[in-house]
Amino acid sequence: MTDEPSTSPSPASPMRQPYRRTEWRTEWQTLREQWHVMTFYERFEQVVAMVLSAIIAVIIVISLIQLMQLVFTMLLVDAFNPLDHAVFQTVFGAIMTLLIAMEFKHSIIKVAFRHENIIQVKTVLLIALLALARKFVILDPGIAPAKVAALAGATLALGVTYWLLRERDDRLRASRDAAASANPHRDGV
């Protein structure tokens, strides 16, 4: 892991959305072209990232099917009352689990298609924050206050760390942009 600023494309960039069919082809072609110049370890990383991505995709699909079955079953037996604490915990806990898995898969895809060399610290912090948010959703009402305080402290620490990393990345990006505008590229020089 690294805490280097991400060089991944902006959210509006087509490379940020590697799920489109034509972009998948382009990504695979680029990966095939780069394969022969990769070291053994880089190839190993690519294979591991692709296998992990496939495993997580299977888990996401199975979890989504189970979530749909759960909601459908609750609707059939008229037990789907989102105001009921147990139902809320079950349904939204499953939804949060899916969101965590999808974010994890997205970070692995960025590594697999070489948008980033390794998983970024900010991504790990974001996934940890999602996991803690899920934990707060599924907490039992009778939980000890000390445990809630510990979870809140962990959430605060992760949130502050994430914010500090983001602020640093924003400052680095702003200084690079300022340097680029101060020294514009001249044609023919």
pLDDT (tens digit, 9 = 90+) per residue, 108-145? 888 776 666 556 788 889 899 999 999 998 888 889 99
Indicate if the pLDDT at residue 81 is higher than 90: no
pLDDT value, residue 43:
81
Indicate if the pLDDT at residue 187 is higher than 80: no
End-to-end CA distance of the chain: 39
Mean pLDDT, the chain, rounded, equals 79
DSSP per-residue letters across the chain: -B-SPP-PPPTTSGGG-TTSHHHHHHHHHHHHHHHTTS-HHHHHHHHHHHHHHHHHHHHHHHHHHHHHHHHHHHHHTT---TTSHHHHHHHHHHHHHHHHHHHHHHHHHHHHTTSSSS-BHHHHHHHHHHHHHHHHHH--TT--HHHHHHHHHHHHHHHHHHHHHHHHHHHHHHHHHHHHHHSPPPTT-
Higher pLDDT, 84 or 138: 138
pLDDT value, residue 188:
47
How confident is the model over 24-44, as a mean pLDDT? 76
User: Is the pTM value of this prediction over 0.75?
Assistant: no
Is residue 3, in this structure, part of any structural domain at all?
no
pLDDT value, residue 26:
72
Indicate if the pLDDT at residue 28 is higher than 50: yes
Is residue 188, in this structure, part of any structural domain at all?
no
Tell me the residue range of the domain where 82 lies. 14-182
Percent of the chain at pLDDT exceeding 90: 26
pLDDT value, residue 65:
95
Is residue 4, in this structure, part of any structural domain at all?
no
Is residue 60, in this structure, part of any structural domain at all?
yes
Is residue 121, in this structure, part of any structural domain at all?
yes
Is residue 1, in this structure, part of any structural domain at all?
no
Domain count within the chain = 1
